[in-house]
Every structure is written in C-alpha cells, then in structure tokens.
Amino acid sequence: MSTHEAAPQTPRAPEAETPVRFDTKIAVLLREDLETWQRLNVTAFLVSGLGKQFPEVIGEPYEDADAVGYLPMFRQPVLVFEGTKETLTTAHARVLPRALFTSDLFTTGNDRDNRAAVRAVATADLDLVGLAVYGPKNAVDKVLKGARMHP
C-alpha cells in the first residue's frame, strides 16, 4: 500500500450515545387467563395495525454487515401488560386510539370474518381479550391503570 492510500476501514460499533427517550408508548394489554399461544397470537395481531395508522412508529430498514436488507420494525419497545376482564373493559372505555381482539376472533380465519365478528357485537358486550394502544406516555398510562407488566 502506498503512503497515499487510505487503510481499509473496518466497521465499528456506534459510539455510546445518550439513550433514546420516547415521549410516546406502545402497549398491549392482555387478559390474564389466556393460554400462551393465545397471548402470542393476540399480541402479534394487535400491533400489526399500528404502523399503518401511525407511520411514525416504524423505524428505518435494517441491514447486516453483508448488505442483506431486512424489514423495518417499531422504533421503540412494545410493553406488554396483563389484567382481568374488568381491567380490559375499563381500559377499553378510556378514549385513545386502540386495536382490539375479542374471544370471537379465535374462531375466525381471516380479516373479513374477524371484522364481521366484531361488528356483530355491541360495544358493552365485547368479550375483550386484548387491546393495543399508542400515544403520549401519560395517556397510555391512564388507559393501563390497574394492569401489571406481563411476567
């Protein structure tokens, strides 16, 4: 290598920076009596709509050291909580944009039937098993009052 050529650069880890703090929160509230597979399924379904409704929650695409690209994900953590059926009913009544999952959706197999199952039940009669909310931290905390972090 001549004295005019630059030495090859090896990728370095990003230097320690001030931690990113968010003034918003993404949270999922699950009914405490769900089976493990139901908790995972409900969580995945509930958060799936947030990026469409709130594009600011989606970060940039990922890329590994070999330049293989990956899909973007949420730019902030998703906090998962659990509570009683009553906790979900109370949380649902607190006004904040939300996604919902009812027990009826465990028996359907597609989006059209899911929407029809929700549409067939009055708000007061919904058998809620999960909610997802996004918004300012303090507003989300008010919605989740009475819930506890998922173990």
- On the question of pLDDT at 31 being above 80, the answer is yes
Q: What does the alpha-carbon distance between residue 32 and residue 64 come to, in Å, rounded to a whole number?
A: 38
Residue 15 has what pLDDT?
Answer: 56
The one-character DSSP state at 126 is -
Q: What does the alpha-carbon distance between residue 65 and residue 48 come to, in Å, rounded to a whole number?
A: 28
State the pTM of this model.
Answer: 0.82
The total number of residues written for the chain in this structure: 151
pLDDT digits (tens, 9 = 90+) for 40-96: 999 999 999 898 899 999 999 999 999 999 999 999 999 999 999 999 999 999 867
pLDDT digits (tens, 9 = 90+) for 10-30: 455 555 678 888 899 999 999
